Structure 1
Amino acid sequence: MAGEKSEEDTVSEYLGQNPELAQWVDTFRSYCESNKQWVARREFILRNMEAFPTLEHGVPSSSLDRLLSLSMVWANNVFLGCSYPQDVMDKIKEMGDGIVVQDAPVHKTTKDGILGRGKREGEVDSSGKRAKSSTRKSGPHPQAPLEHQPFFNRLYKAVAWKLVSAGGFGPNLDHFEILRSCVESCKETMACVYVPLKDIAGLPAGRTQEGHVCEIRCQTVYIGTGYGRDEAAAKAMASKEALKVFQGRKVTVKICRRRYKGKDVEDLVLLDEQPRSQGFPPALSYPFQDEQLEEASS
């Protein structure tokens, strides 16, 4: 009906009346997010702030980290078709209830995973041909490491200076806070994914099933995994492992093979110069499944 405000208009009006909040929230935008993606994720953040009573405007906290992580998970699911453990999917569905994303990608799934994005089932292109699924493997684009490297060069310098001011890398540091503050100083945010240890397939026999696993990514690049008795402990350990990567003379973004849901996949990984005698921990998230669809029409 004419004269009715859209949700985007309502959010924009609200932020216009609260400029300090608007400025603060905009610091959480990822440089690689399109306007559509950011507007939707921003609404997710604003709608769910009240659900985190310890969250305070302008103050870093575990509640804020949790909300931002859930917002990234929600956006990855909506725009990229990423899937997560069922309890996480139920959580983000509940939190995202009522958010309308205009012309959201449609992800058709098969037993082999995501089949299509962007084009709706049966849609035809301008030449009259129906969209076809590409046979190219899912995974990061071959040029992705070069595209991400400049950001991680800046982050490397920020971490180096932060550690110098903190007296060097050590066990008594707040590793997550150091990593978070450095990432935000580079105008970026991290995504933390948590999975109960009992839900991880392929654990060695006799391994405890209690606790959680946390995976940290930044700009879709994997930077660390940690295990702990709860989510906070797992996040702290993942942050510590991530900071270890920054102890060398440089960091490098590379495409590496990892296990995800029992399959080998190509993933973007941040590496140091140290030789690796073991493989990487299994991936808890995989934001590249839609890459196979970029050449969907022919």
Structure 2
Amino acid sequence: MAEERSGEDIVSEYLGQNPHLAQWVESFRGYCETNKQWFARREFVLRNMEAFPTIEPGMPGSSLDGLLSLSMVWANNVFLGCRYSDAVMVKIKEMGEGIVVDDAPVRTTRDEILAKGKRGASSGADGESCAKKAKAGPGGGRAPCQKQGPSPQAPAQHQPFFNRLYKAVAWKLVSAGGFGPNLDHYEILQSCVESCKQNLGCVFVPLKDIPDLPASRAQKEGQVCELRCSTVYMGTGYGRDEAAARAMASKEALKAFQGRKVTVKICRRRYNGTDVEDVMLLDDQPRSQGFPPALSYPFQADSGEDGAS
């Protein structure tokens, strides 16, 4: 696998390919900003420009003022420890996901100190409670925390990670010259997932063993690959062998990242001939057809069926 490049390297290459932006964005640098502070804030501005479609390089406007203000708020929080309202903190953290700042200052708030003390005082009781639950085991029926279908909170829990992954994929594709048929789609997707500290899971099933294939797929030779990350379905691909199927699944998964955003949702799809709820990664484009059948199901089915992991 190629050596992972830093965000600063990718930004420099991007500006080298777009010299009309380089001088324009450089004009936003503050007089007292160090290189580290400016390079990080510059990346913040460039990463989030697409979220402000009315911004035109070289032209002033309220959208540009808003983005620059948010970039300063984000930098003040990262480098100076400034705190803002909860809504603003959530906003800038989401916009700054995926930006790596080496040796950023780490500060502990009073609330965090108090919360840590409370957790330490209750850890003994919590540990005893968890041990009792574990001892109950299969003899007492299903464990209390065993899943029966995805949790209703699953989309909200997974969305922040896939927002980070969206930005990682976008910058990876920029450095690769854009989305196209000649890319190693699996390598790009896998490296981006790993850069976000997660793993990409692949499930393979022989084509002839799939009961719910689309009517247009008549051949029965080959493999089907399904990609998941953190239980979230990302894409399905067909191919003559596992490598080809995985490549096609990765290409389909990357297509979701071509829109303006990705969204984690719970959707209905077929698994082993039964309709189930699954957690899926979707783009912002309307769909005219159903989803491919699921090859794996990382949740305990309501009916008691065992899902593949």
Cα 1:132–1:234, aligned 2, differ >3 Å: closer, same or farther?
closer
Aligned length: 171
Aligned match for 2:183, one of 168, 173, 187:
173
Q: Which residue of 1 aligns with 2:171?
A: 161
Check whether the contact 1:193–1:215 (CA below 8 A) recurs between aligned residues.
yes
TM-score computed with the length of structure 1 as normaliser: 0.53
Cα 1:118–1:235, aligned 2, differ >3 Å: closer, same or farther?
farther
Aligned match for 1:272, one of 283, 290, 294:
283
3-state SS in 1 of match to 2:149:
coil
Determine the C-alpha separation between the residues in 2 that align with 1:291 and 1:156.
Answer: 32
Aligned-pair Cα RMSD in Å: 2.9
Determine the C-alpha separation between the residues in 1 that align with 2:216 and 2:180.
Answer: 32
Matched, 1:144 2:154: yes
Aligned match for 1:261, one of 256, 266, 272:
272
TM-score computed with the length of structure 2 as normaliser: 0.51
Q: Which residue of 1 aligns with 2:253?
A: 242
Deviation of residue 120 (structure 1)?
A: 2.0
Determine the C-alpha separation between the residues in 2 that align with 1:132 and 1:220.
Answer: 20
Cα 1:138–1:171, aligned 2, differ >3 Å: closer, same or farther?
same
3-state SS in 2 of match to 1:289:
coil
Deviation of residue 132 (structure 1)?
A: 7.2
Determine the C-alpha separation between the residues in 2 that align with 1:243 and 1:225.
Answer: 11
Determine the C-alpha separation between the residues in 1 that align with 2:269 and 2:136.
Answer: 27
Determine the C-alpha separation between the residues in 1 that align with 2:150 and 2:242.
Answer: 28
Deviation of residue 188 (structure 1)?
A: 0.6
Determine the C-alpha separation between the residues in 2 that align with 1:158 and 1:257.
Answer: 28
3-state SS in 1 of match to 2:138:
coil
> Where do 5+ consecutive residues of structure 2 fail to align?
1-130, 305-309
Determine the C-alpha separation between the residues in 2 that align with 1:202 and 1:165.
Answer: 38
Alpha-carbon displacement from aligned partner over 1:195-243 (angstroms, at most 9, x marks no partner): 0001111333871110000000000000000000000000000000000
Matched, 1:252 2:263: yes
Deviation of residue 139 (structure 1)?
A: 1.2
Aligned match for 1:224, one of 235, 241, 251:
235
3-state SS in 1 of match to 2:237:
strand
Determine the C-alpha separation between the residues in 2 that align with 1:172 and 1:206.
Answer: 25
For residue 196 of structure 1, what is the amino acid of its counterpart?
A: P
Determine the C-alpha separation between the residues in 2 that align with 1:148 and 1:206.
Answer: 33
> Where do 5+ consecutive residues of structure 1 fail to align?
1-102, 107-116, 124-130, 294-298
Check whether the contact 1:137–1:292 (CA below 8 A) recurs between aligned residues.
no
Aligned match for 2:137, one of 115, 119, 125:
119
Where does 1:184-199 land on structure 2 (aligned, <5 Å)? 184-199=194-209
Determine the C-alpha separation between the residues in 2 that align with 1:198 and 1:228.
Answer: 12
- Structure 1 residue ranges (4+ consecutive) displaced by more than 6 angstroms after TM superposition: 290-293
Determine the C-alpha separation between the residues in 2 that align with 1:246 and 1:143.
Answer: 23
For residue 200 of structure 1, what is the amino acid of its counterpart?
A: I
Deviation of residue 138 (structure 1)?
A: 3.0
More helix by percentage: 2
Q: Higher RCO, 1 or 2 (CA under 8 Å, sep at least 6)?
A: 1
Q: Which residue of 1 aligns with 2:244?
A: 233
Q: Which residue of 2 aligns with 1:288?
A: 299
For residue 241 of structure 1, what is the amino acid of its counterpart?
A: E
Where does 1:17-96 land on structure 2 (aligned, <5 Å)? none
Check whether the contact 1:140–1:291 (CA below 8 A) recurs between aligned residues.
no
Q: Which has the larger radius of gyration?
A: 2
3-state SS in 1 of match to 2:221:
coil
Check whether the contact 1:141–1:291 (CA below 8 A) recurs between aligned residues.
no
